[in-house]
Structure 1
């Protein structure tokens, strides 16, 4: 059987201009897929205090270490991905990091002082959007129709509490900012301000067309769920969402209609 192409290509480090330095990222966006992370990265990259290289979105470097430990050469290579001039912050955002158990350890090894940011979306809606994307990826990478890995992964990626707990165990709760996708949509300036404060950046607003940048722009439609599928998803997520409320006390569950009673 021919070898299947990888889901993500490896990106080489960029050149470091004279007078700049490389080193561990100051911040890492760790999640979650289909939750407006490209939009939020664009907002951060637009800030004058951030060296927002386009290649640092979807870097996928820290997800390489699911089957082997990260070594010193890996750490040095990772640091080369973040050239910046004096006084500017650098970071990356790979939305699938949060869902991969090995990433917490790799992140602690390669960027022990980094601040982490996650955007969470109603897990049922995230599942619908993520599953549709999996069908596209399956066709693109030549995976057979019976390969259902993406369906189980789409469910797993909505179990936010267990994913955040892994990161908190390594970094502590105060090093992790958790935003809610639905609030980012309804009050982007306020939530952007929270993000800047967390990263120690001065308050600043980008041009209106950037703050209103469309999110999840894709030709892929959401997968429809029949009532039984919907019920199973809600039942499967309910305990995790209840735990999530303890981790993120300001989570507004009225914005997640299936869980507003928790």
Structure 2
């Protein structure tokens, strides 16, 4: 019997004595597409950093049921797209180079795959017909519409184009789990729609588990299987139909966003 792809148990994170994340617990089943909603400053990015091993925290986090050194091994199988990407103007790497950074060595890949399959879960390739690394890179660039930009310096691209390059970098490692932190911020509507189509495909056809934060409730409603709503604390986690059918839940989300907005103006 398979285990969850991700378990977050009673996780808290403090910054200078202030709780950024307060005792949050939830699980993500294999194959889920969990949409996380919440206002700016709700702790979504902090939570993601804790999951990725980039942030100290209290509590427990498991990947495919594993902790410790096995958890660290599995982090290489997690595709991550941050909210913002910044490059120095003279950063020499090309778009192709940046995407290639997502390629895993065969040894690291097989260690991760063995752990995932060992717990009864599955690993499904996104690019099953690509037998060589450069083919996967070309396929990923095509998916995000950057194939004609591959030889450009990454620093020469717009913010939205850089974000698309990071989406390709995440896809090219053919991850078992993807974590997306508002990945289409600053990206035009056509590219957003194409990205959402990719998201649907890799979740439905490849069964890739996805955790995705977004302010776009329409997209969450269309794509997510489950929803989590947070503002430092978790005040909903369940089926998306239950969330969007519950006017009190939607009201709470709207009020939490408004309160945070007003608090920032009072500071």
TM-score by length of 1: 0.27
Higher strand share: 2
TM-score by length of 2: 0.27
Higher helix share: 1
